Amino acid sequence: MIQVKNLVYNPFQENTYIVYDESKECVIFDPGMLSDQECQHFSDEIDSLGVKPVKLLQTHLHLDHVFGTSYVSKTYELDPESHKDDLFFLEQTQDYALQFGLEVREKPPLPKEFLAEGDEVRFGNTVFKVIHIPGHSPGGILFYNEESKILFSGDVLFQGSVGRSDLPGGNHESLIKGIQEKLMVLPDDVVVYSGHGPSTTIGKERYNNPFL
């Protein structure tokens, strides 16, 4: 049985997820901790849950989703995994953060492994299938567990909205096409955990999302 712990960090109110099952192994999605206090809070949550981080997964590499990548990578000796098409964002993280008055002490580490459409990510007794939907970012990927009907959508799909497509590498047509063809075919009761804001379901977005 998959358990999801949602932690909200940084001025962009980004959702960082700790996801674990009965094995007590966990994966970390999009660590967004910016300050030392947020990093300590994250580690306190890991300790409180009694879980062992075994994978560091990135839905995409926009700055608000990678602020805590260096900390998690060093603290838990994990290499980040993402799609190769988003790599160029990492070079810009520190300069882009300064435009918002934010200091990032070091550039996030580069992934050593890349994920692509159809790949499977395994930990404990759980398997996530990788879905690639560009449009918010070129390398945007989502993680779907069919058994538990859980989807981690990054900034592709939100409650009542979809991801921005006006950022570098964005494409609104690709985004909507990907959502329609790859997400709206999933069952209505699939729970969607987004990169910002509350969770939703495929059914709610199928019938109520004005962008779809």
Give 106 or 61, the one with higher predicted confidence: 61
188 and 151 in contact (C-beta within 8 Å)? no
Confidence at residue 155, expressed as pLDDT on a 0 to 100 scale: 98
pLDDT 10s digits, 159-202 = 999 999 999 899 999 999 999 999 999 999 999 999 999 999 99
Are 200 and 183 contacting, i.e. CB atoms less than 8 angstroms apart? Answer: no
pLDDT at residue 106, rounded to an integer: 87
Which domains does the chain possess? Answer: 3-208 (3.60.15.10)
Among candidates 95, 18, 85, which has minimal Cα distance to 63?
95
| pLDDT average, residue stretch 50-76 | 98
Q: Are the CB atoms for 71 and 31 separated by under 8 Å?
A: yes
- How far, in Å, CA of 33 to CA of 10, rounded? 6
Total residue count of the chain as it appears in this document: 212
Give the CB-side neighbour count of residue 19, counting CA atoms within 13 A: 29
Contact yes or no for 134/173 (Cβ under 8 A):
no
pLDDT band at 151 (very low <50, low <70, confident <90, very high): very high
CA end-to-end span of the chain? 31
pLDDT value, residue 13: 98
Taking the C-alpha atoms of residue 89 and residue 95, their distance in angstroms, rounded to an integer, is 10
d(CA 106, CA 115): 24
Q: Write out pLDDT tens, residues 19-52.
A: 999 999 999 999 999 999 999 999 999 999 999 9
Q: What's the pTM?
A: 0.97
Q: Which pLDDT belongs to residue 178?
A: 98
Query: What is the average per-residue pLDDT within 129-135?
Result: 98
| Mean per-residue pLDDT, 112-121 | 96
**What tens digit of pLDDT does each residue of 72-114 get?**
999 999 999 999 999 999 989 998 899 999 999 888 999 989 9
| pLDDT at site 105 | 86
Strand order in the sheet with 150-154: 120-123, 126-132, 141-145, 150-154, 191-194, 200-201
